[in-house]
Structure 1
Amino acid sequence: MRKKELELVLAPEVAFDAAQLEHELLKTARLRPEDIKYLHRIKRSIDARGRQVLVRVKADLYLDTPPTEIISPVYSYKDVSKEKPVIIVGAGPAGLFAALRCIELGLKPIVLERGKDVRSRRRDLAAINKEHIVNPDSNYCFGEGGAGTYSDGKLYTRSKKRGDLLRILQIFVQHGATPDILFDAHPHIGTNKLPKIIEAIRETVREAGGEVLFDKRVTSFIVERGEMKGVVTQDGQEYTGESVILATGHSARDIFETLHTSGVTIEAKPFAMGVRVEHQQSLIDSIQYKCEDRGPYLPASSYALVQQTVYNNKQRGIFSFCMCPGGFIVPSATAPGEVVVNGMSPSRRDSKFANSGIVVAIELEDMELEKYGPLAGLRMQQALEQKACQMAGGTQVAPAQLLQDFTQGKVSKSLLETSYQPGLASVDMNELFSDDMAYRLREGFKGFGNKMRGYLSNNAQIVGVESRTSSPVRVPRDRETLEHVTIKNLYPCGEGAGYAGGIVSAAMDGERCAEMIAAKVRRVL
């Protein structure tokens, strides 16, 4: 197998145009189109550190036919309708990728999703935005595809050691995602394209003999002699199998409550809470790209910021989270009487707004552990979300304040145009948060203003609250077997169990749990 490996630094108009990129690669390699069998694009990343924005590209030019897995990796799914069943609670990325991996390994997945299928779910999202009605089982967090379906669809992760990242991306491409996600350094799919991809994954599961069932909220667990046998749903149905994969997502509070009251070990874990900050995307572009107009080739720019703060001799980090360039702020409450915000972006990231979570780290010592035990972080979330709802008028209208006014302790006389559909209410956000959280947010924003000139001004506003950054609860499991530490055949999985932090890491964790179950079944047989 002969190939030429290339690394080029190109102008954006070349790197983001397929024809020009191929021409430049061939020119650099001194090859003609007929000299190569396959052009394998490996990585494309933007370098905006200098005065001129450049794009770094890595690619391989194969002079012979490359390995099949590079040209068109396709994962096959055989009929498992008569194989041993595995119960999967939750149809988010952890649950769906666990289901696909079960099929590959000869097990029948039965996926139970508390919410609705991805199409029906849209009506409930519209009801939140327009009528301020929150369906506790179908919203921006619950339903087919989980919280990631209606999000930015970011597909990068720091958890590359936990699984095969390329494999996850290839499966997304096989189900309809653009091949660019295999190439870009920070790939994303977009909230407008994710639903169809999720539907395609569901149909793959069903065509292979697996089951995906909706409106199946789990209300109790079937445990006998320390072993998980199955689950019971709200309609009284029992589902039993070889094992149960618990992939409910970070907002399934009733599941945490049920586990706790049933005597199943859970733990409080650190998480983060704060606000969404919203700027004009053009402002963020001008700061990051150092130009007035990014032009037709450069994508909407993003940022990542972190600042250390000290209050009462306690150091805590404040950091940007889930930055959504060209995106929207959305209402993510999972129960009436609370206000929660999150961000999402379409695939083209063409909204005129940029938003990002700006959150403060919450450590165990910040929680009332003696009073609430392992549910202490969950109670902190609830209290803040309910207070936000009350301060803004009791609907899905969110409390907000101009950014510089917040740092100076001034109530904003008026607010800016926003992407948040339910609307905003001007309040003093310093009164929403505890003294230490408010102080840390103020200091964090001041630090960010020093790092990004123009970031801290009243041309931006903060919207509250961003409180679902990760699960405030961990469902502990054995490091080797991935089984729960005290309940056999229970596999805590993904974000909700505290073992992932996004679409890709959750998907990889789902696959790992499926692999552990398959290995255990083979040993028993």
Structure 2
Amino acid sequence: MRREVEYVVSPEVAFDEQNFRNFIINKVKLSDSDELHIRMVRRSVDARSRNIKINVKAEIFEGEPPSDLISYRRDYPNVSDAKRVIIVGAGPAGMFAALRLLEQGIKPILLERGKDVQERRRDLANINKKNIVNPDSNYCFGEGGAGTYSDGKLYTRAKKRGDFVRIMEIFVAHGATSEILVDAHPHIGTNKLPKVVAEIRQSILNAGGEVHFDTRVEDFILDGDRIKGVVTQQGDRLEGEAVILATGHSARDIFILLRDKEIEIETKPYALGVRIEHPQSIIDGIQYHCNGDRGPYLPAASYTLVNQVQFEGKEKGVFSFCMCPGGFIVPSATAPGEVVVNGMSPSRRDSKFANSGIVVAVDEDDFKPFYKEHGVLAGMAFQQAIEQQACVVAGGTQQAPAQRLGDFVEGRVSNALNETSYQPGLVSADMRTVLPEQIAHRLKYGFKAFGKKMKGYLTNEAQIVGVESRTSSPVRIPRDRLTHEHPQIKGLFPCGEGAGYAGGIASAAMDGERCAELAAQLYCGVS
């Protein structure tokens, strides 16, 4: 017999497997035996009051084995001799597009400018320890995309774009912990996601697909208004029935290529600001109403903040982005001469630091000075100019400019900085010399508002680090709403974050699946 139960429990019950089993047995008055199976299926933290509670749902199986945890199976047909679709970019959009093509009997040719997850680690170490940025292999480029080594959060509000549960099951089928099926805000962790990514690659190869690393696309093969394939930096010409362009939000060379080929692209608003770092104990104390010691069961606390701030009569949002409890700040530049920061967390979220992007919405008004020279790429040029200024201010390496939060709000340069998780190191600077006036102004008043919402948040024990600039793509590649095909180039399917249609691992994966389905239907004869 199978049944479901729901309870509100304490953290020591919700986050300890044996305690949870004992609770259910006592609550439902069951007899413990080898034929009794209890499985948690949902867990979310309710921290609105001082008495923290956890909402849980569980399945109970009595006298019968538990049903399969997931329905997804790594069972793909052999596509070695099938029709081919080229996928540019091996981030979540590209990888999940490849898996979906396999399911439909189509051969994916997956091209990645960076290295595989194992080799990529060396380039990340060079950024952190030697200040050397490899433009093709870094925190943004390489197998798995930007998310692989910058957190692995799977939560998305874009669940209507696809089957979110299916995406989670595919991750579990390739080695992710089953807890991502349970937690309200699922998270794999940067220490575990690379192994999952490598397993996805193995699925593609085992079924006869191809994965090519160190393969940067430098040109498109066009026949009138139809794309036939791509040309790599080695001069190789790779052709297929269609091309899925899933290059991520930092592939500036692809945006330039599209512009130079007179393939329609659009300027897109995004957000830009800083990354703030607190001791995790401060955030735990605020969110869990405690003295900063959350105990052995509660997870590291997170937060979400938003406020509207005016500057010269125009109101724009200031908001938290990619909050990483128990995490680290990492260098995410994709070229020498830039300083870009992002955040990540290991699966246990056990760092003593909490960090989050705090960013301001930017749009055409901010890009105006760049339009004359850069045209449709004005937003990208604005972004790049701020990253280059951050590098100059911090001394020309991957050290990042930083300022204590209270000092920034009060207009003082910090005499000393706090301990940090950012490995290349920090340089004390006035962040107003890095950020445009309108962004610095809005951040200042945004932080004041956040300090009122979260008592203790606005403190000199926190510091801001610049710049958080790769929140989303500065360019949108247009596509038909129904077919997802570029309106000008037949067979070209702009996809994922880089095209402006996703905002994280899960939404990019769903978008990749949908683009693969439509490419297969329109150009490979799949019904």
TM-score (norm. length: structure 1)? 0.97
Please say if 1:453 is aligned against 2:452. Answer: no
Greater Cα offset, 508-517 or 2-11:
2-11
1:519 alignment partner in structure 2:
521
The 1-side partners of 2:150 and 2:250 are apart by: 15
The alignment partner of 1:389 has SS state of helix
The 2-side partners of 1:257 and 1:40 are apart by: 51
2:300 alignment partner in structure 1:
300
1:472 alignment partner in structure 2:
474
Residues 438-484 of structure 1, C-alpha deviations (whole Å, 9 max, x = no match): 11000000000001111101101000000000001001110100111
1:7 alignment partner in structure 2:
6
CA separation of 1:108 and 1:68: change in aligned 2, threshold 3 A:
farther
2:310 alignment partner in structure 1:
310
Cα drift, residue 125 of structure 1: 0.8
Cα drift, residue 130 of structure 1: 1.0
1:359 alignment partner in structure 2:
359
Greater Cα offset, 57-66 or 376-385:
57-66
2:22 alignment partner in structure 1:
23
Cα drift, residue 5 of structure 1: 2.6
The 2-side partners of 1:524 and 1:91 are apart by: 23
1:481 alignment partner in structure 2:
483
Note the 1:92-491 alignment, pairs <5 A.
92-292=91-291, 293-368=293-368, 370-371=371-372, 372-491=374-493
Equivalent residues of 2:242, 2:523 under 8 A apart: no
Cα drift, residue 76 of structure 1: 1.4
The alignment partner of 1:405 has SS state of helix
Equivalent residues of 1:35, 1:63 under 8 A apart: no
Equivalent residues of 1:385, 1:467 under 8 A apart: yes
Residues 95-115 of structure 1, C-alpha deviations (whole Å, 9 max, x = no match): 011111100110000000000
Cα drift, residue 262 of structure 1: 0.3
The 2-side partners of 1:85 and 1:472 are apart by: 30
The alignment partner of 2:146 has SS state of helix
Query: Which one-letter code corresponds to 2:359 in the other structure?
Result: V
Equivalent residues of 2:273, 2:359 under 8 A apart: yes
Equivalent residues of 1:340, 1:465 under 8 A apart: yes
Query: Which one-letter code corresponds to 1:448 in the other structure?
Result: F
Cα drift, residue 219 of structure 1: 0.2
Equivalent residues of 1:109, 1:210 under 8 A apart: yes
The 2-side partners of 1:39 and 1:259 are apart by: 54
The 2-side partners of 1:273 and 1:32 are apart by: 57
Unaligned 5+ runs, structure 2: none
1:49 alignment partner in structure 2:
48
The 2-side partners of 1:110 and 1:56 are apart by: 44
The alignment partner of 1:46 has SS state of strand
Query: Which one-letter code corresponds to 1:118 in the other structure?
Result: V
1:78 alignment partner in structure 2:
77
The 1-side partners of 2:515 and 2:75 are apart by: 19
The alignment partner of 2:12 has SS state of helix
Query: Which one-letter code corresponds to 1:382 in the other structure?
Result: Q
Equivalent residues of 1:8, 1:56 under 8 A apart: yes
Greater Cα offset, 189-198 or 364-373:
364-373
Residues 388-409 of structure 1, C-alpha deviations (whole Å, 9 max, x = no match): 0001111111000000000010
The 1-side partners of 2:389 and 2:162 are apart by: 40
CA separation of 1:473 and 1:166: change in aligned 2, threshold 3 A:
same
Cα drift, residue 272 of structure 1: 0.2
Greater Cα offset, 403-412 or 359-368:
359-368
Query: Which one-letter code corresponds to 2:207 in the other structure?
Result: A
Cα drift, residue 68 of structure 1: 5.5
The 1-side partners of 2:67 and 2:101 are apart by: 24
The 1-side partners of 2:105 and 2:33 are apart by: 43
Residues 166-192 of structure 1, C-alpha deviations (whole Å, 9 max, x = no match): 111111111111111100011101111
Equivalent residues of 2:85, 2:242 under 8 A apart: yes
Unaligned 5+ runs, structure 1: none
Equivalent residues of 2:115, 2:214 under 8 A apart: yes
Query: Which one-letter code corresponds to 1:135 in the other structure?
Result: N
The alignment partner of 1:239 has SS state of strand
Equivalent residues of 1:320, 1:359 under 8 A apart: yes
TM-score (norm. length: structure 2)? 0.96
2:511 alignment partner in structure 1:
509
The 2-side partners of 1:6 and 1:139 are apart by: 46
CA separation of 1:522 and 1:141: change in aligned 2, threshold 3 A:
closer
Query: Which one-letter code corresponds to 1:343 in the other structure?
Result: G
The 2-side partners of 1:310 and 1:63 are apart by: 60
Query: Which one-letter code corresponds to 1:327 in the other structure?
Result: G
The 1-side partners of 2:311 and 2:157 are apart by: 29
CA separation of 1:84 and 1:36: change in aligned 2, threshold 3 A:
same
Equivalent residues of 2:83, 2:524 under 8 A apart: no
Equivalent residues of 1:278, 1:353 under 8 A apart: yes
The alignment partner of 1:148 has SS state of coil
The 2-side partners of 1:460 and 1:192 are apart by: 26
Cα drift, residue 522 of structure 1: 5.3
Equivalent residues of 2:491, 2:523 under 8 A apart: no
The alignment partner of 1:367 has SS state of helix
The 2-side partners of 1:142 and 1:361 are apart by: 25
The 2-side partners of 1:524 and 1:504 are apart by: 25
Query: Which one-letter code corresponds to 1:444 in the other structure?
Result: G
Equivalent residues of 1:4, 1:29 under 8 A apart: no
Equivalent residues of 2:520, 2:526 under 8 A apart: no
CA separation of 1:402 and 1:301: change in aligned 2, threshold 3 A:
same
The 2-side partners of 1:516 and 1:202 are apart by: 22
Equivalent residues of 1:36, 1:61 under 8 A apart: no
Greater Cα offset, 153-162 or 25-34:
25-34
Residues 71-130 of structure 1, C-alpha deviations (whole Å, 9 max, x = no match): 554241121111101100001011011111100110000000000111111111111111
Query: Which one-letter code corresponds to 2:43 in the other structure?
Result: R
Query: Which one-letter code corresponds to 2:116 in the other structure?
Result: D
Cα drift, residue 34 of structure 1: 5.3
Cα drift, residue 43 of structure 1: 1.2
Equivalent residues of 1:491, 1:513 under 8 A apart: yes
2:31 alignment partner in structure 1:
32
CA separation of 1:391 and 1:72: change in aligned 2, threshold 3 A:
same
Equivalent residues of 1:321, 1:359 under 8 A apart: yes
Cα drift, residue 64 of structure 1: 7.6
Equivalent residues of 1:87, 1:245 under 8 A apart: yes
